[in-house]
Amino acid sequence: MKKYKAYAKVNIFLKITGRRNEYHEIVSRFMRVNDLYDALSFVSKKNVQAKANEFKIIGDFDCTTKQNTIYKAYVALKEATSSQALEKLMRTYAIAVEKHIPAFAGLGGGSSDAATYLKMCNEVLHLGLSLNELAQIGLHVGADVPFFIYGYESANVSGIGEVVEAFDEELLAFDIYTPEVQISTPQVYKAYRESFYAPIDGFAADELKKKSSLDILNELDAKEANDLFNPALQEYSDLEQHYQDGYYFSGSGSSFFKVKEEK
């Protein structure tokens, strides 16, 4: 059965631009990580221990099925399309996930899995949904899902994740390490809101959006590049001992990355 790659991402920069109800609005440069991805495929339930009426995910996850972003993507797609073919597909097949992107890492693994599942279903069921339509469905699952739906190598992401604009630049290669620190994104945002709230204005956001990722990394340090790094350090003191000079913080953590040095 065909395998579909669900790539990781890093946030070259992540700045808060304001609030929208209970959400924070951001501007961020997402870049795909080409050598780190999960692999998803449909497998017949005849070949695995699965009941016909259960949504079955096979893979190394430490959450329940209903907490899994793939299941949430299924629910969102079913609500958007009322597709009987989708329900039949998931009665017949399970989703197998070869998991390589660590969880709680700021690398978008859950969002990428959800986006890839939506695109798989759209393809095999011939649902005919555009990328824009899939991105709207994906936004119900998570703010990072639209980026992975569009499949850009590099993009400026803004709003609450729904505005994704391709950025034309060469894809970078990264060294990434992920400490075993399980970070809660809501907790980090809460700490930012209470202790560090200082949104940038539209002029500063536009300047960042125009610069190449390499220029941004050369000009800013880890705390300047990511507004969530300081609140994450405040809430998770263990992070400090894992930080190495020259590395940057992805998303709300806990992964650190830097551009690979040419040999």
Binding residues, by number, are: 102-112
Cα-based angle 163, 166, 167 (whole degrees, multiple of 5): 120
Q: Is the dihedral of CA 58, 177, 148, 35 positive or negative?
A: negative
Instruction: Give the number of C-alpha atoms closer than 13 A to the C-alpha of residue 87, restricted to the C-beta side.
Output: 8
| Residues 43 and 68 both lie in one domain | yes
**Domain C-terminal end among 123, 145, 166:** 166
33 and 102 together in one domain: yes
| Strand-strand pairing, 163-166 and 23-44 | unpaired
Residue 71 host element (H or E)? helix 69-81
The model's pLDDT over 75-125, given as tens digits with 9 standing for 90+, comes to 999 999 999 999 999 999 999 999 999 988 999 999 999 999 999 999 999
Does 123 lie in the same domain as 206? Answer: no
Number of domains in the chain: 2
* Residues 131, 189 within the same domain: no
Look at residue 157 and tell me whether its pLDDT is greater than 70.
yes
- Specify whether the CB–CB gap between 173 and 32 falls below 8 A: no
Q: Which tokens sit at 219?
A: 């000009």
Q: Report yes or no: 136 and 159 within 8 Å, Cβ to Cβ.
A: no
**Domain stops at, among 109, 144, 166:** 166
Q: In this predicted model, what pLDDT tens digit does every residue of 172-219 receive, in sequence order?
A: 999 999 999 999 999 999 999 999 999 999 999 999 999 999 999 999
State which residues form the domain around 15: 4-166
Give the separation between CA 191 and CA 3, rounded to whole angstroms.
Answer: 39
**Long-range pairs, 156-159, Cβ under 8 A, ≥24:** 156/27, 156/28, 156/29, 156/30, 156/209, 157/26, 157/27, 157/28, 157/29, 157/30, 158/17, 158/25, 158/26, 158/27, 158/28, 158/205, 158/209, 159/20, 159/25, 159/26
Is 208 in the same domain as 105? no
Same domain, 123 and 105: yes
Looking at the structure, do residues 34 and 87 belong to the same domain, yes or no? yes
| Residues annotated in a binding site for ATP | 102-112
- From the list 78, 31, 71, the residue with the least C-alpha distance to 173 is 31
We report the CATH number of the domain holding residue 214 as: 3.30.70.890
Active site residues: 9, 144
Q: What is the pLDDT of residues 2-46, one digit of tens each?
A: 999 999 999 999 999 998 888 899 999 999 999 999 999 999 998
- Domain at 28, CATH number: 3.30.230.10
